[in-house]
Structure 1
Amino acid sequence: MTFQGSGPLNTGGVSAGGGGGGGGRIAMGGGLGLVVTIVALLFGVNPGDIMGGADTSSGQQATGDQAALQQHIDECTVELANSDDVCRLVATKNSLNQVWPKLMNGYTDADMTIFSGGIDTGCGAASSAMGPFYCPADQTAYFDPSFFSELKRMGGSDGPLAQMYVVAHEYGHHVENLTGVLAKGQRMGNDGSVRIELQADCLAGVWANHADDGPDAMLAPLTDDQIATVIQSAKAIGDDTIQGANSNPEGWTHGSAKQRVRWFTTGYESGDPKRCDTFATDDL
């Protein structure tokens, strides 16, 4: 068990999207497509210009799929969050919204859209092939639950806390958007992108530190084995893992496996968002 307690989850701000065939799952090339397209979204580029776009037509089948997914979301409970990927996404949002208002003055929640196929966003047309992403234009985090199988294929873990780390990372981008760091990084090219991503890893670690605090915490006390699944996933999505050990660091956009593990661990061990200032150091 990861979540403790019982009863319905708060599904406010969570909606179903996409459905139907969409743009299809584009081959990710070992995850490189994920890196390219997320950067496109962060830097305000229409990802359709890079990946060929997505058919976001809302035909009868797509409408039916979306309605079924919305019903699934609306029926999520704490108990289901321990076995169901969609409900785990919703529950993680609940936990994040429990933790971040205590850590950050002026924190406002980001919406969540759970989708499959293709979808229109404030940052342009997107497809499931892009993996999870946060769009600052509409302050919404987007997730296709099928990504977790892709993450496992890439060498990561599809364990509950590893999945929640992915969600917490995207909400870390929301925190960066609220503080202005996201815009700052966007002006700095690849170096800024790496610092943005590593800071989001660190902020995910901060959340994990606090997510099991107190009698009303949604998460049961975290174990070393659960943290190990996060470390496994962070390593799997390092630029050197995805692009190869001999790839040029100047072309990296997310940071190395070692850097991603380091910054998540910094956040998790300290529980202090101030320790996540990746823009204040030359030693990433």
Structure 2
Amino acid sequence: MRWENRERSRNVEDRRRRGGGGVAMGGGGIIVVLLLAWIFGINPMTLLEDTGGGGAMSGAPASPEQDRLAEFASTVLRDTEVIWTAEFEKMGKRYEQPRMVIFSGSTRSGCGFASSQVGPFYCPADRTVYIDLGFFEELENRFDAPGDFAQAYVIAHEVGHHVQNLLGISGQVHQAQQRTDKVRANELSVRLELQADFLAGMWARKGQERYNFLEEGDVEEALRAANAIGDDTLQRQAQGHVVPDAFTHGTSEQRVRWFMKGFRGERFDPNNTFDARDL
């Protein structure tokens, strides 16, 4: 991806060098907390906040590689600001730019205590994307999805949730989830996540039109990342079998398909994934 020497976002807060707070918790303790959250259907962020978990934030100096990743993330965020500002203007709306917090280990968010174990996420309460840059290393080493555009896809997906939040889509979904059972709530979550993948693909297409930032193999990097973090793939790796009723983000095939729908130019409809019979 061609990103060097381009404008960066002013909405990035770098917390990597701050000292930690809260009670330190080892990796094993975090796993137990996340397992309990999954069993009892509790938001893991709530449990981590109650325990102060995730370990204290690292105050160690950031490496040059991490600093470069931070610059990259800031540039990608700026690209999303420009693209979505223009798209909202077409809809007769005003785009409110999200913030991005880059952290190491753990930090506080408007949605509770944030740990690197949770992975990148968007918090609607404070309209902020949270990213531990170590996830990008995990994306390459654990998920076999290297490349800067794989990382850009992750950021664009989380910004997609911000777009959904501004348009009122997320709120409607969360209200519907509270009125239904766990299986149906999970299905709604899948449709929300796949729409965020669609929005990431749409951003990639619009960004290419404006900046010509794609290099050979970039789209394949994004697709490899989408494929690697599908629910079926992750469940098969973790437990050796797949439980479709527990899906919350969509299968690998679905995530790839909806990213490509956005990238190939299908018109955005707030109901697109929610009206689709075949995801």
* TM-score, length-scaled by structure 2: 0.79
- 1:128 paired residue number: 116
Instruction: Tell me if structure 1 keeps the 8 A contact 2:54–2:116.
Output: no
Which of the numbers 190, 197, 200 marks the counterpart of 1:194? 190
Distance in 1 separating the partners of 2:51 and 2:186: 19
Distance in 2 separating the partners of 1:52 and 1:249: 32
Instruction: Tell me if structure 2 keeps the 8 A contact 1:240–1:257.
Output: yes
Distance in 2 separating the partners of 1:40 and 1:210: 37
- Residues 179-209 of structure 1, C-alpha deviations (whole Å, 9 max, x = no match): 1111222232111111111010010000000
Instruction: Indicate how the Cα distance of structure 1 residues 47 and 147 shifts in structure 2: closer, same or farther if over 3 A, else same.
Output: farther
Distance in 2 separating the partners of 1:135 and 1:21: 20
One-letter amino acid matched to 2:272: D
Which of the numbers 189, 204, 208 marks the counterpart of 1:208? 204
Distance in 2 separating the partners of 1:50 and 1:260: 33
- Which structure has more relative contact order (CA 8 Å, sep 6+)? It is 1
Which of the numbers 157, 160, 174 marks the counterpart of 2:148? 160
One-letter amino acid matched to 1:249: P
**Does 2:84 correspond to 1:96?**
no
- 2:241 paired residue number: 246
Number of corresponding residues: 254
- 2:182 paired residue number: none
- 2:48 paired residue number: 48
Distance in 2 separating the partners of 1:178 and 1:162: 25
Instruction: Tell me if structure 1 keeps the 8 A contact 2:49–2:113.
Output: no
Instruction: Indicate how the Cα distance of structure 1 residues 280 and 175 shifts in structure 2: closer, same or farther if over 3 A, else same.
Output: same
Residue 156 (structure 1) shift: 3.8
- 1:227 paired residue number: 219
Instruction: Indicate how the Cα distance of structure 1 residues 127 and 258 shifts in structure 2: closer, same or farther if over 3 A, else same.
Output: same
Distance in 1 separating the partners of 2:206 and 2:143: 27
* TM-score, length-scaled by structure 1: 0.78
Instruction: Tell me if structure 2 keeps the 8 A contact 1:185–1:195.
Output: no
Which runs of 5 or more residues in structure 2 are unaligned?
178-184
One-letter amino acid matched to 1:192: L
- 1:75 paired residue number: none
Instruction: Tell me if structure 2 keeps the 8 A contact 1:25–1:128.
Output: no
Q: Which runs of 4+ in 1 moved over 4 A?
A: 18-25, 49-52
What RMSD over aligned residues (CA atoms) do the two structures have, in Å? 3.2
Distance in 2 separating the partners of 1:210 and 1:252: 30
Which runs of 5 or more residues in structure 1 are unaligned?
73-79
Give percent identity, aligned residues only: 35
- 2:180 paired residue number: none
Which of the numbers 254, 263, 266 marks the counterpart of 2:258? 263
